[in-house]
Amino acid sequence: MLHDPTPAADKRAAFRAGLAAGRLLRFPGAFSPLSAMLIQRHGFEGVYVSGAVVSADLGLPDVGLTTLTEVSQRAQQIARVTALPALVDADTGFGEPMNVARTVQVLEDAGVAGMHVEDQVNPKRCGHLAGKDIVDRGTAVKRVKAAVAARRDPRFVIAARTDAAAVAGMAEAIERAKAYADAGADLIFPEAMADEADWARFRAAVGTPILANMTEFGKSKLLGAKTLHDLGVNVVIYPVTLLRLAMRAAETGLAAIEARGSQQELLGQMQHRRDLYDLLDYRAYNAFDTDIYNFEI
Query: Catalytic site residues?
Result: 48, 62, 89, 91, 116, 118, 126, 161, 191, 213
Contact present, 87 and 110 (Cβ < 8 Å): no
Distance, CA of 46 to CA of 237 (rounded, Å)? 9
Burial of 229 (0-12, 13-18, 19+ CB in 10 A): middle
Contact present, 139 and 100 (Cβ < 8 Å): no
* CB count in 10 Å sphere of residue 22: 10
Q: What are phi and psi of 231, to 5 degrees?
A: -80, -5
Distance, CA of 232 to CA of 19 (rounded, Å)? 11
Q: How many CA atoms lie within 13 A of 42 on its CB side?
A: 13
Distance, CA of 32 to CA of 212 (rounded, Å)? 22
Nearest to 62 by CA among 19, 132, 126: 126
Residue 78, classed as helix, strand or coil, is: helix
Give the orientation angle of helix 273-280 with respect to helix 33-41, to 10 degrees.
90
Distance, CA of 23 to CA of 234 (rounded, Å)? 6
* CB count in 10 Å sphere of residue 211: 23
- Beta-strand pair 86-89/157-162: unpaired
Burial of 234 (0-12, 13-18, 19+ CB in 10 A): buried
User: 159 pairs with which residues across the strands?
Assistant: 116, 187
